Each structure stands twice: as C-alpha cells, then as structure tokens.
Structure 1
Amino acid sequence: MNYSEILPSGISIVPMQQSHADALEQLQYIVFPDLQEDEILHAPQYRQHVNIFPEGQFVATDGEKIIGATSSIRYHFNPDIIEHHSFFEIMGGGWFTTHEPNGEWLYGMDVSVHPQYRNLGIAKALYRARHFTCKQLNLKGQMTVGMLNGYAKQSAYMTIEAYYDKVKSHELFDPTVSVQEKIGFEIRGLMKDYLNDPTCGNAGAIIVLPVDKNI
C-alpha cells in the first residue's frame, strides 16, 4: 500500500523501509531512555518488522532525518475481555513473531517522536497512517496499551489503580493516555506489569480506536 502525508511543518509520514532501521534504533534510545534494554527495538528487528508486516510500519521524516515512527502487528483481540500480557511478550521479544496475519485488530507497539519535534501533530499523523491500514485491510480498528506517564508525579499519593481510575474519569490529565483520548481512543482497562518503566508505574491503559472513527 502506498501512503504519504505531508504535514504543514513539512514533516512527511511514509511507510517504513529497511534502510531506516539504524536510525530507528537510535531514535528508540532518545525517546525511551527509561526502558530496559530488552524492551528497546533494534535495527535487525525493524528490518524484520518490514518483512513480516510492511503495511503496519510508518516513519516521520524531516528531509532525510528520521524523527518519528510507529510499529504494529495484526492481532486477535476482544476489547471486552482483558487478557494480561507484557510488552515483551506481545512484541515477541521485539521480533513481532506474535503477528497474526488474519488478526482483526491492529495492535500498535509504539509511537515515538523525537523530543525536538513534539507538538507538531506528528504522533496524531502516525495514528492516522495506522488508521489508513485498518481501513485498507478491513480491520475492526487499532488498539494499544498507552503508557500512564503522569503517574510518576502522583505515585507518592496513590496507587496505580487509583491513578488509572482518575485518568479514566477525567479527574486527572495524563500526558500520554489523555492525549490519546482526545485523538479518539477509548479507555477499556488497566494493564499492570506491562513493562519495566517506573515513569508509568510499569502499567498502561488498554485503549481502542474503532475503524469507523475519523481522526
């Protein structure tokens, strides 16, 4: 599938290529400095992603510079039944061996934007690219586990369960999940022990974006 969007800033959203792999690995360390090494995606894994499911991988470029990306797989998912898994498990140790070619949902593994390029609408554009794939492949929509990155500032005052409830009820604003809600995602559940990142209490919110929503 051919896909391209040029943002007002001049940033381009295009399909990921194997030639982007080394730059994408470098971007991981910049965007996710607190992730454990086994949760960081590396160049050989990015090349594998393009081989396995090219329709689910996109990058944001500023000229020749890679400044953002998103990776995803197809997955069988029931939004009404929350099955626990870790980030390491769901991404097949980074190799996307968990990709289900007939999966009815697009599972977003990550969205990354270089800190110097934030607040330009790049993340939302990457979600739009994923939504394009959902529509082209007649999927039910996209889902992911959004990191509750505001928890670190509240962890001394409440549990991760309490923080999640307050974010869901809009009593607290989370810099990641609340923004994803504004894009159109719906919060469906809490996924504890999802990854090793104290910033989000090792947890995330399960969120879904049905294909019939426009973003």
Structure 2
Amino acid sequence: MTYQKHVYLKSSDGYKKAFVRNYQREDFEDLIQIQKESYPPPFPSELWWNKEQLENHVTLFPEGALCVEVDGELAGSMTGLVVNFDREHPTHTWEEITDNGYIRNHSPNGNTLYVVDICIRPDFRKFALGKLLMQSMYEVVIHQGLDRLLGGGCMPGYHQYANEMTAEEYLAAVVRGVVKDPVISFLLSAGRTPICVVPNYLEDEESHDYAALMEWKNPFRS
C-alpha cells in the first residue's frame, strides 16, 4: 500500500505545496545528498545513507520509507522498520535495533514501528517538515495496526548539564520546560512521550551516548 499526502505549508510569501510519499530508487541520489547537507564534515561520511541501506528500506519495508517534497524538490525523509518491543526490557542500541540502518531484522509480525532516521534538508527546516513526517509515520502505525511508534532521541544539550545532573534528571528537566533540548523538545512537541533513558545508545559526544526512548501510542489500540 503506497502512502500519498498533499498539504500546504505556511511561508513568508503565502503557502508552499508539500507532498509526502514513499521514496523510491530514483530518489536515492537526492536522499544521500540530503544526508551530506544535513551532516557535513567532520561528521563521518560512512554514516550517511548508502545505496545498499536504501535498497533494503524500499524492498523490506517500503511502507516505512517516507520522503517529503516541497514545490517538487525533495526536502527530507523518515525511515522506520517493524520490531517486537518488550517494555519490560527496553534497553538496546541503535545499531542493534536497526541492524545498523540496513533493517534486515525487520519483523512483519512485530508490534512497534521503530524510527531508524529522520533528516530534513537545512534550507527547508523552517517549514516544520519533521513534524509533518512524524505525523505521517503515526498514520502508518495506525494503518499497519501496530501498538506504537518508538525511537531513541539523542540529547545534544546534555553535555552542558552533565556535571550537574544525571541523564534521567536532564530528561525530566526538559519535560518540565526548565531546559530546552534541540531533539527532545522537538519530539515532545511532535507528540512523543518518554519511556526511559538508554545508555550507550549511539556514539554522540554531546549526549554522552545517552538517548531518551520515546513513543507515540496508537490511540486505537489498548
């Protein structure tokens, strides 16, 4: 089942037409270019999407491979896979649960849509495309009859407070609105709720390798 959604986004000169859809093989070069623009050096180039990963996305779970165009230009993407998630044993790493982005562990009979990546071209970040893609993935959760959308959010603001509070205390401060974090605050505003803090989730110096595991629960599932 293909995904297609047309919306209009407010801009300084009226409204821009946006189109959310499943990405295809012909989009691969643009998707890799978006990664290069979003994560420039010194970010390691080997961590940008490669064609083998993207081929797996559109082959193993095309429903979880979404992109957004603005006025016909590819502006961002979001990718997910289905996994079995046990709330009693939440700890994992990004590499483990996403198969390092190759999603060969995609489980069609799983209960959770897991976010592999979300990436917006810098020139288009004023249009709130991250929230648009997140909402689109919530709709995929409902269409697939899954329990939740889940993903780990790095906490890039934590390094400024690491000498004052634990990662759990930092997350609580962000939820209370005492501290603003570029990633966690965005996820909260997009409808995600925290479950726990996961250590050694992904190598990220600013987050001290911590991430907040955050979910959106399907409102049609108990």
- Regarding TM over 0.5, the answer is yes
Counterpart position of 2:57: 49
1:170-181 aligned within 5 A: 170-181=177-188
Distance 2:26 2:68 in 1: 14
TM-score of the two chains, using structure 1 as the length reference: 0.88
Counterpart position of 1:28: 35
Report the CA distance between 1:205 and its aligned residue.
0.5
1:194 maps onto 2:201 in alignment: yes
Structure 2 unmatched ranges of 5 or more:
10-15
Cα-Cα RMSD:
2.1
Report the CA distance between 1:10 and its aligned residue.
1.8
Counterpart position of 1:60: 68
1:128 maps onto 2:135 in alignment: yes
Structure 1 unmatched ranges of 5 or more:
none
Counterpart position of 1:40: 48
Counterpart position of 1:150: 157
- Where 2:177 maps in the other structure, the secondary structure is coil
- Where 1:199 maps in the other structure, the secondary structure is coil
1:104-143 aligned within 5 A: 104-143=111-150
Counterpart position of 2:18: 11
Distance 1:60 1:138 in 2: 23
Structure 1 or 2, whichever has the larger Rg, is: 2
2:90 to 64, 79, 83: 83
- Where 2:146 maps in the other structure, the secondary structure is coil
- Tell me, yes or no, if the aligned pair for 2:58 and 2:65 is still in contact at 8 Å: yes
**Which deviations, in whole Å up to 9, do the C-alpha atoms of 1:55-75 show, x marking residues without a partner?**
111001234432100000001
Report the CA distance between 1:35 and its aligned residue.
5.1
Distance 1:12 1:184 in 2: 21
Report the CA distance between 1:168 and its aligned residue.
3.6
TM-score of the two chains, using structure 2 as the length reference: 0.86
- Pick which of 172-181 and 25-34 moved more: 25-34
